[in-house]
Amino acid sequence: MKIKNVFLTYVFLLLFVNDVSAAKYSGKKIVFVNSNHQGYEWSDGILRGVKSVLDGTGVKLKVIDMDSKRNNEEFFKKKMASQIKTTIDEFTPDLIIASEDNAVKYLVVPYYRHNYDIPVVFCGVKWSASEYELPRANITGVIEVALIPELIDILEEFSKGNRIGILGTDDYSNSKEAKIFKDKFGIVLKEEVFVSDIQDWKKEFVRLQESVDMLILAPFSILFINEDLSSLREIKEFVVKNTKIPTGTVEDWVAKFALIGIVKKADEQGILAAKAALKILDGVDPAEIPIAENEQGNLILNLAVAEKLDVLFAPSLIRSAIIIDKEF
């Protein structure tokens, strides 16, 4: 009987704590502005992290997609930002979470950098927000950093030379990151190739196998998201068949196609941003919340690509890695 009473007391207390937490933020509203679109894996992961913190708090979350991966034209991004601003005005949120560079560049900077009436938390901004003149009194956030020197060190173990190339979608984020690889770490990129369709991506992937000794795969899922025939499985089969040099990535979902990944966790960006948002709703001044950056990462080894290259991973690498099997 005692055990039953203790259990019931525990359940009551748990429900009470949850109710108090929900009541604390009841009526509060947050807008989450996604630079990309639902279905883009990295952005989905950030939103998943945000929801994992906010679910059950009583906060009403509104998600708005900017869709700027599939529509990279300048006029489209500015037009979408204006429309999103109107939607935000109508929703009257207590706070905005802006995810990734385009949401910050086209929405936060022109409309909220000098508007101190509403606090903003950004996340997924690559490496630094200084180019946007952030943080501000009403704006804090989370920057996204990559373990690129560590990735290059491992790739060099399996490479026959030191010529490095990078291949990905032609967009601002990829160009920004390539510049940081060079400026911050002194990495010499012999080839920087950013393309706009899947056929060009395939063509350049094959060409780069001969012109560089190591290849960094930047995000490129937008190239086949609307291609009926270019499924993930077909892309992986193409990559495995045509890989001749070590390939690597710092993006978790791209590790499906690379020999080695030292990858960031998208969820972490969302979790850190949502926690900062709740602090602000608690009354903490955004200026008192320092800019955070991701600290978590995973080593991923791809056995299908390793087999094609006749690469044998050291047991020490295997023990600390997530293994992608030969089956997709």
Domains of the chain as residue ranges with CATH: 2-145+266-293 (3.40.50.2300), 148-263+297-324 (3.40.50.2300)
The pLDDT assigned to 15 comes to 45
Chain centroid to Cα 34, Å, comes to 11
pLDDT band for 16, please (50, 70, 90 cuts). very low
The pLDDT assigned to 8 comes to 46
Burial grade of 118 (CB within 10 A; 0-12, 13-18, 19 or more):
middle
Structure tokens, 223: 């190239």
Residue 112 vs residues 71, 268, 287: alpha-carbon distances, Å: 23, 24, 15
The pLDDT assigned to 70 comes to 84
Query: Quick one: CA torsion of 275, 277, 282, 285, rounded to 10 degrees?
Result: 110
Query: Does residue 113 sit in helix, strand or coil?
Result: coil
pTM of this prediction? 0.76
CB 224 within 8 A of CB 257: no
Q: What is the pLDDT of residues 188-227, one digit of tens each?
A: 999 999 998 889 999 999 999 999 999 999 988 666 554 4
H/E element holding 74?
A: helix 74-91
How would DSSP label each residue in 152-181? HHHHHHH-SS--EEEEEESSHHHHHHHHHH
Average pLDDT, the chain: 89
The pLDDT assigned to 41 comes to 83
Is the pLDDT score of 229 beyond 90?
Answer: no
Is the pLDDT score of 179 beyond 90?
Answer: yes
